Structure 1
Amino acid sequence: MTLSWKLVIDSTNAPALADFWAAALEYEVEDPGALIGQLLAAGQIGEEAVTEHRGRKTFRGYAAIRHPEDPFDETSGVGRGRRLLFQEVPESKGGKNRLHLDIHSEPGGLDKLLARLEDLGATRLREVDNGPAGHWWIMQDPEGNEFCVA
């Protein structure tokens, strides 16, 4: 039996980083508003657990994105497929990521993808030339997390 999973990424501003990665990957930011409303009404959470981002209620310190074609729970907004969860942590990033995302462009579309990612707030760090295997770029997201673009 295969297991379900999600990739969790520590951040200093979960909603902002979720916005960046949703735009970069063309994913959707999850909307937990209906679930939050139910939990607040039932007294299971207090207002201190909730914040607002871009006009929607979200859980304080958390934001998630999901692939737009994957199934999701309509009550909670939680994706049931390819999903990234961003959680705020008090400490800053300490060094090189040991796990990172690779984003692949369409054939011949690397320059266009690089420019789009830079427009979203990513930064190019260096180009890697791997001879016959091709080349790619190592970039950073707005919080300094490395990722590759090929």
Structure 2
Amino acid sequence: MVALNWKLVIDTQDAPALADFWAAALGYEVEDPGPLIGRLLAAGHLTEDAVTEHGGRRVFRGFAAIRHPEDPYDEVSGIGHGRRLLFQDVPEPKTAKNRLHIDVHSDPGGLDVLVARLETLGATRVRELDKGPAGHWWVMRDPEGNEFCAA
């Protein structure tokens, strides 16, 4: 059986900003939909109100995605065909603990460096967990309050 392409969709309040955080945290690339947006606008398939600007690029309003830098992607649309996170704005705020979260793993012995780097990107520490022989890790929050673990 061949591995499937997948994407994890994360509800947000500011999709482009959270995509920037997670791209930096994971070493992923932010997808650039600018060329696709240009074609869709020119063909009349998209209106200007569906588009905004972020980081000097045109993006779909309320959406942003990141992809693993080694995975294939469509050069016309910029959409990744492998490991991918899609961020989409939703009207309601986050109100409860995540039912699914990302674990970010450090190199052996590098947890302190990883946690410090994530904090410089906008993450916050919540609590440290000690799992005995399995080691310890930090429960953290991204800039929108979504929990994740650094191990």
> Per-residue displacement from partner, 1:106-138 (whole Å, max 9, x unpaired)?
011110000000000000000000111111100
**Correspondence for 1:110:** 111
- State the AA in 1 paired with 2:89: E
CA distance in 2, matches of 1:5, 1:82: 6
SS at match of 1:126: strand
**Residue 3 of structure 1: CA displacement?**
3.7
**Correspondence for 1:29:** 30
CA distance in 2, matches of 1:114, 1:67: 21
- Relative to the length of structure 2, the TM-score reads 0.97
CA distance in 1, matches of 2:133, 2:104: 19
**Correspondence for 2:41:** 40
1:44-123 pair list within 5 angstroms: 44-123=45-124
Q: Is the 2:5–2:83 Cα contact (8 Å) retained in structure 1? A: no
Aligned pair count reads 150
CA distance in 2, matches of 1:70, 1:4: 10
CA distance in 2, matches of 1:3, 1:129: 34
CA distance in 2, matches of 1:23, 1:3: 25
- List structure 1 segments (4+ residues) > 6 angstroms apart after TM superposition: none
**Residue 94 of structure 1: CA displacement?**
1.2
> Per-residue displacement from partner, 1:11-51 (whole Å, max 9, x unpaired)?
00000000000000011000001100010000001000100
Query: Which structure 2 residue ranges, 5 or more long, are not aligned?
Result: none
What's the % identity of the aligned pairs?
A: 76
Return 72-81 or 1-10, whichever deviates more: 1-10
SS at match of 1:6: strand
**Correspondence for 1:16:** 17
**Residue 93 of structure 1: CA displacement?**
0.4
**Residue 4 of structure 1: CA displacement?**
2.7
CA distance in 1, matches of 2:71, 2:83: 7
Query: Which structure 1 residue ranges, 5 or more long, are not aligned?
Result: none
- State the AA in 2 paired with 1:127: E
